[in-house]
Amino acid sequence: MGDTVPMGLRSWWDERALPHLTHRACQGDDIDRWRRPVCRRATGVVLDIGFGSGPNLPHYPDAVTRVLAAEPSELAWDLAAGRIADFGRPVDRASRDAADLSEVADDSVDTVVSAWALCTVPELPAALAEARRVLRPVGEFHFVEHSLAPDRGTVRVQRAVQPVWGRVAGGCHVDRDLPRMLEDAKFAVDLEQSRYIAPGPLRAWGWFITGTARPT
Ligand SMILES: C[S@@+](CC[C@H](N)C(=O)[O-])C[C@H]1O[C@@H](n2cnc3c(N)ncnc32)[C@H](O)[C@@H]1O
């Protein structure tokens, strides 16, 4: 949505419509095939960046004792109520912005998880610095994301669509080089899967990556 869109419509879209759309779109077998293997590696205290309506919760193993959610959307948090109740272990909203985890102590988190959220967090370098601060030195950061494509043709499309896409999709970036940004934040990155999940021009949204980042 351009800057000519009235603020009322813009905030309705961002605050009322998008959380519902995300809640519906980010579930189901196709998406869970990517989500499940990432979540099942979590243990202990988990920081869930971009918690949304809690779609990771059903996939966390018993070894997860507590979840700290970083999520700005009030509506997404409300939509998470059922999943939180079913989870049966503590889920606390530790922050409304992953770039400010001041309520979370240094070295107090065993696992950081991000599912399609690093594309959207506005101050990503600050958020990754916070994730590294709160993660124990032996902790792990597991992610499933869409990222900057490996081929120049798709990158050109990503750069072209980004200005409009960012506005309609709540600040989502299709052109962030997430492995490099994790490395810049002093993580060593082990990519597990990286491949296109969509054909043709849709590849701009479809370079999916999963992996683990460990503090260096
Ligand atoms: C594409 S959704 C993914 C939600 C969820 N992780 C999932 O897998 O469905 C991106 C999420 O990042 C959240 N987000 C946006 N800015 C954020 C910030 N500064 N800190 C933490 N989360 C943020 C959005 O509100 C949204 O819930």
**C-alpha 117 to ligand 1 mean position (Å):** 5
Residue 190: which domain range?
7-215
Q: With a threshold of 0.75, does the pTM exceed it? A: yes
Which residues fall within 8 angstroms of residue 47, CB to CB, at 6 or more apart? 68, 70, 94, 101, 104, 109, 111, 112, 113, 131, 134, 135
**132-142 pLDDT per residue, tens:** 999 999 999 99
**113-162 pLDDT per residue, tens:** 999 999 999 999 999 999 999 999 999 999 999 999 999 999 999 999 99
* CATH number of 24's domain: 3.40.50.150
- How many of the other CB atoms lie within 10 Å of CB of 103? 11
Residue 53 lies in a domain: yes
Report angle CA 138, 177, 25 to the nearest 5 degrees: 90
Residue 17 lies in a domain: yes
Burial (CB count within 10 angstroms: exposed 0-12, middle 13-18, buried 19+), residue 101:
buried
Please say if the pLDDT value at position 103 is more than 90. Answer: yes
Look at ligand 1, atom 22, and give the residue with the nearest C-alpha: 50
Report angle CA 79, 146, 101 to the nearest 5 degrees: 55
Instruction: Specify the pLDDT at position 3.
Output: 57
**C-alpha 85 to ligand 1 mean position (Å):** 20
**C-alpha 145 to ligand 1 mean position (Å):** 11
Atom of ligand 1 nearest to the CA of 172: 1
**C-alpha 72 to ligand 1 mean position (Å):** 8
Atom of ligand 1 nearest to the CA of 73: 25
Residue 1 lies in a domain: no
Burial (CB count within 10 angstroms: exposed 0-12, middle 13-18, buried 19+), residue 164:
exposed
Distance CA 14, CA 26 (A): 16
Q: 124 pairs with which residues across the strands?
A: none
Signed CA dihedral, 15, 16, 17, 23: sign only:
positive
Q: Give me the residue label for tokens 């994730």.
A: 131
Residue 107 lies in a domain: yes
Mean pLDDT value across the chain: 94
When divided into structural domains, the chain yields a total of: 1
Look at ligand 1, atom 17, and give the residue with the nearest C-alpha: 121
* Selected residue with higher pLDDT from 120 and 7: 120
**C-alpha 172 to ligand 1 mean position (Å):** 9
> What is the β-pairing status of strands 207-215 and 187-196?
antiparallel
Residues with CB under 6 A from ligand 1: 22, 26, 49-50, 52, 55, 70-73, 76, 97-99, 115-117, 120-122
**155-181 pLDDT per residue, tens:** 999 999 999 999 999 999 999 999 999
Look at ligand 1, atom 9, and give the residue with the nearest C-alpha: 26
Residue 65 lies in a domain: yes
**C-alpha 100 to ligand 1 mean position (Å):** 14
